Amino acid sequence: MENELKGLQVYKFGGASVKDAAAILNLCRIVRDFGPQGPLLIVVSAMGKTTNALEEIYDLAYHGRDYSAQLTALKNYHQLAHEALCHQLAKYAQRFGTEHSPIKIFDELSQKLTHILGSSNYDEGYDQIVSYGETISAHIVADALASFELSRTVFWQPASHVIQTNSTWREGRVDWKATEREVRDSANTLFDSSNTIVVTEGFIGGTADGRTTTLGREGSDYSAAIFAYCLRAESVTIWKDVPGLLNADPKIFPDTVRYPEISYQETIEMAYYGASVIHPKTLKPLADRQIPLRVKSFVDPAAEGTLIHDCQHPPLAPAFIRKTGQVLLSLESKDFAFISEENLEVIFGALAQARLKINVMQNSALSFSVCLDGEPTRLAQAVAALRTQFKVQYNEGLTLFTIKNYTPGSIAQLLAGRSVLLEQRTRSTFQVVVKE
Ligand code: ASP
Ligand code: MG
């Protein structure tokens, strides 16, 4: 059967591209008009802002508070989309909506929520509830495609059965060997002809003993890469509401430019510095197997987009990357001692212990500064540990800007009217921490 997987393509549709009936119909048209002739695996995110809504519902349920209004609103939102699709798709086929009405899935979710109160592990319970967003959306999309794409067979594959992770709740670590085996086995069964489309959930994995995990917020891109890696896909396409990989977020910077072609290496670095267009874990599995990644617009699917692959290119336009919610932590030794290797060991130990992520660091003779993601509980833990040895000061609510491939002009443009708390540059990268 391996032959049926030859030339497999993976499409990933994020929340905005499945946010309502019109968006899902647009997805169906993209598959029909732009999709490959051969086998296609579609990875979908939860509809619109569903994951945020489920996080809120879960948190209320966990703390024994009333979540019924929020749950009803979320159910109605999915029902409405489903009914509109039934109406629209009636012209293609009668069978839409008979198998996977969201009502059944919401009943199951409601049932689960009633057992949440008092459950011991917050993060484990989170994965059991918040994963429903992707499950509902994958069902609805699979059903819509089955009705729309009359000439193709559509199957639904639960991701928790095949993407095997450990039990690091909310950030499951993939067991690549087991995942590759499971994904390949199931694909060999499902893709019984090259005419098949399989729809699965992004964001979700499962432990060996069958409990659902999630891969971290915005993790559906990563899911697409995991499937592509395991199935040695020909390519991955991420369909987004932007025309490709841009050098800056158009909501923040005017005059953005699109990179038509860019290397894995450059893209990995941009994602690392906080460019939000692609989940940072996505690139490595694709680069490992030399699988090209396309970023395309679901609003303008005929447009070129961006091709990310192994390539050489001339110097790129400077990329502006903004990371908000930063904390600048400054440490000084209490007795005017120099910052030494022994001190650094203590500092890194305390930060690692609190699972804080260092984004920039700088030291002078008597002080050491780090810019971190501002996670209040983790910060408090680290500060308490460090106060025993250092004078600790910190400044919250800051923004870290990174310019990759900077030019003098791009730095001047960024710094105009901003006051800088910390600045650093290497040969290719310029970083500043500012108060906005
Ligand atoms: N629905 C999840 C989230 O919003 C995963 C994703 O969209 O990639 O975080
Ligand atoms: Mg999302």
Distance CA 183, CA 279 (A): 21
Q: Would you state the pLDDT for residue 397?
A: 95
What is the Å distance from ligand 1's center to 220 Cα?
6
Is the CB of 431 within 6 Å of ligand 1?
Answer: no
Nearest ligand to the CA atom of 53:
1
Q: What angle do CA 278, 250, 258 make, to 5 degrees?
A: 65
- What is the pLDDT confidence band of residue 111, given thresholds at 50, 70 and 90? very high
Is the pLDDT confidence value at 95 over 70?
no
Q: Would you state the pLDDT for residue 1?
A: 47
**9-240 CATH:** 3.40.1160.10
Q: Which residue has the higher pLDDT, 252 or 32?
A: 32
Most ligand 1 atoms within 8 A of CB, residue of 44, 52, 132, 218 to mutate = 218
pTM across the whole model? 0.90
CATH superfamily, with its number, for domain 319-435 = VC0802-like (3.30.2130.10)
- What is the pLDDT confidence band of residue 343, given thresholds at 50, 70 and 90? confident
For residue 217, what is the DSSP state? T
Q: 293-313, pLDDT tens digit by residue?
A: 999 999 999 999 999 999 998
Q: 389-436, pLDDT tens digit by residue?
A: 999 999 999 999 999 999 999 999 999 999 999 999 999 999 999 998
Q: Where in the chain is the domain with CATH 3.30.2130.10?
A: 319-435
Distance CA 6, CA 181 (A): 17
User: In the numeric block, which tokens belong to residue 132?
Assistant: 């429903």
**Owner of token pair 């267009």:** 277
Q: 214-232, pLDDT tens digit by residue?
A: 999 999 999 999 999 999 9
Q: 36-73, pLDDT tens digit by residue?
A: 999 999 999 999 999 999 999 999 999 999 999 999 99
Q: 135-177, pLDDT tens digit by residue?
A: 999 999 999 998 886 688 999 999 999 999 999 999 999 999 9
Q: Would you state the pLDDT for residue 342?
A: 85
**Owner of token pair 């009914």:** 83
Q: Which residues contact 34 (CB under 8 A, 6 or more apart)?
A: 301, 302
Q: Would you state the pLDDT for residue 365?
A: 81
Most ligand 1 atoms within 8 A of CB, residue of 50, 126, 134, 217 to mutate = 217
Q: Would you state the pLDDT for residue 30?
A: 97
Q: What single letter denotes the amino acid at residue 200?
A: T
Q: Would you state the pLDDT for residue 333?
A: 86
Q: Would you state the pLDDT for residue 149?
A: 67
- Taking the mean position of all CA atoms in its chain, how far away is CA 171? 11
Q: Would you state the pLDDT for residue 94?
A: 55
Is the CB of 15 within 6 Å of ligand 1?
Answer: yes
Is the pLDDT confidence value at 268 over 70?
yes
Q: Where in the chain is the domain with CATH 3.40.1160.10?
A: 9-240
Alpha carbons within 13 A on the beta-carbon side of 100: 19
**Owner of token pair 């990174």:** 402
DSSP track, 225-251: HHHHHHHT-SEEEEEESSSS-BSS-TT
Average pLDDT over residues 337-343: 82
Nearest ligand to the CA atom of 222:
1
Q: Which residues contact 352 (CB under 8 A, 6 or more apart)?
A: none
Backbone angles phi, psi at 226, to 5 degrees: -65, -50
- Max distance between CA atoms of the chain, in angstroms, equals 79
Is the CB of 106 within 6 Å of ligand 1?
Answer: no
